[in-house]
Amino acid sequence: MKIFKIKSVLIVLVLIVAGSIAGCKKSRIDLLPHGPTEQSYFTKEDDYNKAILGVYAKMTDFFWYNGGAGSTPMPVFLLPGDDITTNNTNEEFEQFGSLQPSSGRLSYLYARHYQMIARANLILQKIGSVASGVYITPNMKNYHQGEALFLRGYAYYNLWNFFGTAPLVTERVTNPDQFNPTSSTGTQLLEQAIKDFGDAALLLPTSWDAANRGRVTANSANGFLGKSLVFKASATKTATDYPAAIAAFNKIAGAALVADFGENFAFDKENNQESLFEFQASQAFGFDNVWLDNDFDNAIGSLSIFWGFYDNNFALFGTSRFYATSKLAAAFEPLDPRIDSTLKPADRTIKKYVVRNKANQSGPGSVNNYRILRYADVLLLKAEAILQSGGSTTEAINLINQVRTRARAMRAGGLVPANRSTAETNKTTIMSWIMSERFIELAGEGQRWFDLRRWHMQGIITLDNSFFNSNTTTVSFQSPKHLNFPIPNSELDVNPNVVQNPGY
Amino acid sequence: MYQNLLSIFLYLRSPFFFLFFCLVCFSSYSQENITVTGKVTDNQTNLGLPNVSITLKGTTSGTTTDVQGNFSIAARPGSRLIFSYLNYAPQEVTVTTNGNINIALASQSKELDEVVVVGYGERKKKDVTGAVSSVGAKDIEKSTAFTPEMALQGRAAGVFVNSGGGDPQSRPTIRIRGVNTFGFSEPLYVVDGVPIYEGGAGVTSGAVGDIRSPVNILSMINPQDIESISVLKDASAAAIYGVRASNGVVLITTKKGKSGKPRVEIASSYGIQNIPKTISVLNTQQYFALVKEAYANNPDANTSFEARFGPLYDAANSQYVGNGPTYDWQKELLNKNAPIHDHSIRVSGGNEGTTYYLSVGYAKTESPLKANYLERFSIATNIESRISKFISTGLTLRLVQENAVQNTGTDLGTMMTTIPFQPFYDANDPTGFAAVTYGEFEPNPDFDPTKLDPGASFNYKPGFPKLLWGPQTRFNAFAFQSLNDNQYDLSRILGNAYVQIEPITGLKLKGSFGGDYFVNLRKSWGNNDAYRFSQTPGNPFAGQDGKAVGSYGERQGKTYNINKELSLNYNRTFLSNHNIDVLLNASEQFGRWNVSDLSGRVDYADPQFRGIRNQPPYTNGFAGILQEDALIGYLGRISYKFRDKYYLDGTLRYDGSSRLAPGNKWDKFPSFAVAWRISSEDFFPKTNFINDVKIRGGWGTLGNYQSAGYYKFLSNVNFGPDYSLGSGNGNGIGSQLQGARLPDFANTTLTWEKLKTTSIGVDAILFNNKVSLTAEYYSKTTFDIIQSVSLPPNTGIEVPADLNVAEVSNKGIELQLGYNAKLGPVDFNIAGNITTVKNRVEKLNAGTPLGGEAGRIEEGYSLFYLWGQKTGGIFQTQAEIDAWRKSHTDVSIGQSATNPATGYRYKPGDMYFQDVYGNPRNSKERFNQAPDSLINSNDRTYLGKTIPGYYYGLNIGANFHGIDISIFFQGVGDVQRYNYQRSSGEGMGSLANQWSTVLDRWTPSNPSTTTPRAVYNNPSNPSRFSDRYVEDASYLRLKNLQLGYSLPKTILGRTGFIQNFRIYASGVNLFTITPWTGLDPEFDGIPPTRQFLLGVNASF
**Residue A15, pLDDT above cutoff 60:** no
Residue A1 near chain B (CB below 8 Å): no
Task: Name which residue leads in pLDDT, B5 or A294.
Answer: A294
Contacts across the A-B interface (CB distance below 8 Å): 407
3-class DSSP assignment, residue B515 = strand
Question: CA A275 from chain center: how many Å?
Answer: 14
For B315-377, the three-class secondary structure string (H helix, E strand, C coil) is CCCCCCCCCCCCCCHHHHHECCCEEEEEEEEEEEEECCCEEEEEEEEEEEEECCECCEEEEEE
Cis peptide bond prior to B465, omega within 30° of 0: yes
Which residue in B66, B65, B88, B72 sits closest to B34, CA to CA?
A: B72
pLDDT digits (tens, 9 = 90+) for A342-362: 999 999 999 999 999 888 877
Q: How far apart are CA B381 and CA B836, in angstroms?
A: 40
Which residue in A19, A14, A25 sits closest to B13, CA to CA?
A: A19
Q: How far apart are CA A493 and CA B792, in angstroms?
A: 9
Q: Is B681 exposed, middle or buried (0-12, 13-18, 19+ CB in 10 A)?
A: exposed
Furthest CA-CA distance within chain B: 109
Cis peptide bond prior to B800, omega within 30° of 0: no
For chain B, counts of helices (H) and of strands (E): 13, 54
CA of A449: how far to CAs of A78, A80, A84, A321, B108, in Å? 8, 6, 10, 19, 86
From chain A, the residues in CB contact with B635 under 8 A are none
CA of B548, closest CA in chain A: separation in Å?
A: 15
B contact test, residue of A6, A9, A29 with most B CBs within 10 A: A29
Q: How far apart are CA B816 and CA A391, in angstroms?
A: 90
Q: What's the pLDDT at B5?
A: 38
Q: Select from A90, A174, A303 the Cβ nearest to the Cβ of B1017.
A: A90
Residue length, chain A? 504
CB–CB contact B924 A496 (8 Å): yes
The answer to whether the beta carbons of residues A400 and A437 sit under 8 Å apart is yes
3-class DSSP assignment, residue A325 = coil
Residue type, B274: N
Q: Select from A47, A55, A368 the Cβ nearest to the Cβ of B732.
A: A368
Q: How far apart are CA A269 and CA A345, in angstroms?
A: 25
H/E element holding B620? Answer: strand B620-642
First to last CA, chain A: 91
DSSP B636-703: EEEEEEETTTEEEEEEEEEEEETTSPTTSSEEEEEEEEEEEEGGGSTTS---SSEEEEEEEEEEEEEE
Phi, psi torsion values for A357, nearest 5 degrees: -100, 160
From chain B, the residues in CB contact with A271 under 8 A are 727-728
Q: In what order do the strands lie in the sheet with B70-75?
A: B70-75, B34-42, B100-105
Q: In what order do the strands lie in the sheet with B53-56?
A: B62-64, B53-56, B80-84, B91-94
CA of A166, closest CA in chain B: separation in Å?
A: 8
Q: Which of A211-225, A476-490, B596-610, B974-988 has the lowest mean pLDDT?
A: B596-610
- Average pLDDT of chain A is 91
Beta carbons within 8 Å of B618's beta carbon, 6+ residues apart: B452, B453, B543, B600, B601
DSSP H helices, B118-168, are 137-142
CB–CB contact A492 B937 (8 Å): yes
Is 0.90 exceeded by the ipTM? yes
Phi, psi torsion values for A285, nearest 5 degrees: -70, -25
CA of B439: how far to CAs of B459, B530, B541, in Å? 10, 12, 12
The answer to whether the beta carbons of residues B25 and B501 sit under 8 Å apart is yes
CB–CB contact A180 B846 (8 Å): yes
Q: What's the pLDDT at B13?
A: 42
SS3 helix, strand, coil % of chain A, rounded to 5?
Answer: 50, 5, 45
CA of A35: how far to CAs of A122, A238, B1010, in Å? 19, 52, 56
CA of B300: how far to CAs of A86, A95, B190, in Å? 11, 11, 61
The answer to whether the beta carbons of residues B389 and B29 sit under 8 Å apart is yes
From chain A, the residues in CB contact with B715 under 8 A are 37-38
Question: Nearest chain A Cα to B541, which residue?
Answer: A361
Which residue in A380, A78, A445, A447 sits closest to A226, CA to CA?
A: A380
From chain B, the residues in CB contact with A283 under 8 A are 733, 736
pTM for the model: 0.80
Q: How far apart are CA B496 and CA B514, in angstroms?
A: 4
CA of B721, closest CA in chain A: separation in Å?
A: 4
Residue B513 near chain A (CB below 8 Å): yes
CA of B398, closest CA in chain A: separation in Å?
A: 21
The answer to whether the beta carbons of residues B1058 and B1100 sit under 8 Å apart is yes
Q: What's the pLDDT at B7?
A: 42
The torsion region of residue B350 among left (phi > 0), alpha (psi -120 to 50) and beta comes to left
Residue length, chain B? 1100
From chain B, the residues in CB contact with A466 under 8 A are none
pLDDT-above-90 percentage for chain A: 72
Q: How far apart are CA A16 and CA A292, in angstroms?
A: 50
Task: Name which residue leads in pLDDT, A32 or A459.
Answer: A459
Q: What's the pLDDT at B4?
A: 42
From chain B residues 743-802, the ones with a CB under 8 A of any chain A CB are 743, 745-746, 790-798
- Give me the mean pLDDT over the A104-130 stretch: 96
CA of B743, closest CA in chain A: separation in Å?
A: 8
Cis peptide bond prior to A334, omega within 30° of 0: no
CA of A26, closest CA in chain B: separation in Å?
A: 7
Beta carbons within 8 Å of A418's beta carbon, 6+ residues apart: A404, A408
Which residue in B633, B558, B634 sits closest to B589, CA to CA?
A: B633
Name, of A276-280, A297-301, B577-581, B689-693, the range with top average pLDDT: A276-280
DSSP state of B48: B
Beta carbons within 8 Å of A289's beta carbon, 6+ residues apart: A296, A300, A301, A302, A362, B538
CA of A73, closest CA in chain B: separation in Å?
A: 16
Residue B207 near chain A (CB below 8 Å): yes
CB–CB contact A87 B793 (8 Å): no
H/E element holding B105? Answer: strand B100-105
Q: What's the pLDDT at B44?
A: 65
CB–CB contact A118 B512 (8 Å): no
Q: What is the mean pLDDT of each run of 10 residues along chain B (1100 residues)?
A: 40 40 36 81 76 79 82 84 78 82 73 66 74 79 77 78 78 77 78 80 64 74 84 74 76 84 89 93 96 89 84 93 93 94 90 89 92 91 88 91 91 94 94 92 66 63 85 92 92 91 87 90 89 85 72 87 89 86 89 85 79 61 76 89 88 88 88 90 83 90 81 88 91 89 89 88 87 91 81 90 86 91 84 92 84 88 94 94 91 80 86 91 79 90 94 90 90 94 93 95 92 92 94 93 87 79 91 94 89 89
From chain A, the residues in CB contact with B550 under 8 A are none
Which residue in B1019, B1026, B936 sits closest to B982, CA to CA?
A: B1026
From chain A residues 304-343, the ones with a CB under 8 A of any chain B CB are 314-320
CA of B850: how far to CAs of A106, A344, B294, B497, B690, in Å? 19, 49, 37, 46, 50
As beta bridge partners, residue B636 has: B584, B652
Q: What's the pLDDT at B2?
A: 40
Q: What's the pLDDT at B769?
A: 81
Question: Nearest chain B Cα to A471, which residue?
Answer: B302
Q: What's the pLDDT at A42?
A: 94
Q: What's the pLDDT at A91?
A: 84
